Amino acid sequence: MYLDFLTTGILAFTWQQGVMWLIGAILIYLAIKKDYEPALLLPIGFGAIIVNIPFSTAITQNIPGYGEIEGIIDVLFRIGISSELFPLLLFIGIGAMIDFGPLLSNPKMIFFGAAAQFGIFGTLLLAVILGFSLRDAASIGIIGAADGPTSIFVANFFESKYLGTITVAAYSYMALVPIIQPFAIRLVTTTEERKIRMPYHAKEVSKTAKILFPIGVTMVAGFLAPTSISLIGMLMFGNLIRESGVLNSLSKTAQNELVNLITILLGITIAAKMQAASFVTTETFIIIGLGLVAFIFDTVFGVFFVKFLNLFTKNKINPMVGAAGISAFPMSARVIHKMALQEDKQNFILMHTVGANVAGQIASVIAGGLIIYLIP
Amino acid sequence: MMNMNHVYIALRVMGAGMTGIFVTLSILYGFIIFLTKIYPMKANKQDVPKER
Is the model's pLDDT at A141 over the cut of 90?
Answer: yes
Give CB contacts under 8 A, 24+ apart, made by A76-79: A76/A265, A76/A268, A76/A269, A76/A272, A77/A269, A77/A272, A77/A273
Indicate which of A128, A304, A351 best probes the interface with B, i.e. most B CBs within 10 Å of its own CB: A128
CA B44 to chain centre: 24
User: What one-letter code names the amino acid at A26?
Assistant: I
Helical H segments across A118-162, by residue range: 118-129, 134-141, 148-157
pLDDT given for residue B44 in this prediction: 63
Is the model's pLDDT at B45 over the cut of 60?
Answer: no
Is the model's pLDDT at A1 over the cut of 70?
Answer: no
Binary contact (A134, B18; C-beta < 8 A):
no
- The model's pLDDT over A304-317, given as tens digits with 9 standing for 90+, comes to 999 999 999 888 99
> Domain limits of chain A?
76-374
The residue-averaged pLDDT of B31-41 equals 90
Binary contact (B10, A362; C-beta < 8 A):
no
Binary contact (A203, B29; C-beta < 8 A):
no
pLDDT given for residue A20 in this prediction: 92
Give the angle A73-A234-A214 at the CA atoms, nearest 5°: 160
Helices then strands, counting H and E runs in chain B, come out as 1, 1
Chain B nearest-CA residue for A224 = B24
Binary contact (A124, B13; C-beta < 8 A):
yes
Model confidence at A360, in pLDDT bands (50, 70, 90)?
very high
Query: Where does chain A show beta strands of DSSP type E?
Result: 61-63, 67-69, 203-204
Cross-chain CB nearest to A134 (options B10, B21, B26): B10
Q: Residues 21 to 40 of B: which have CB under 8 A from any A CB?
A: 21-29, 31-33, 35-36, 38-40
Let me know: does A217 contact A238? Beta carbons within 8 Å: no
**A17-21, A38-42, B6-10: range with lowest mean pLDDT:** A38-42
Indicate which of A108, A120, A121, A304 best probes the interface with B, i.e. most B CBs within 10 Å of its own CB: A121
Supply φ then ψ for residue A139, to 5 degrees: -65, -35
Question: The pTM is what?
Answer: 0.87
Q: Which residues contact A146 (CB under 8 A, 6 or more apart)?
A: A119, A170, A173, A174, A177, A295, A298, A326, A327, A328, A332, A360, A364
**Closest listed residue to residue A228, CA positions, set A239, A217, A238:** A217
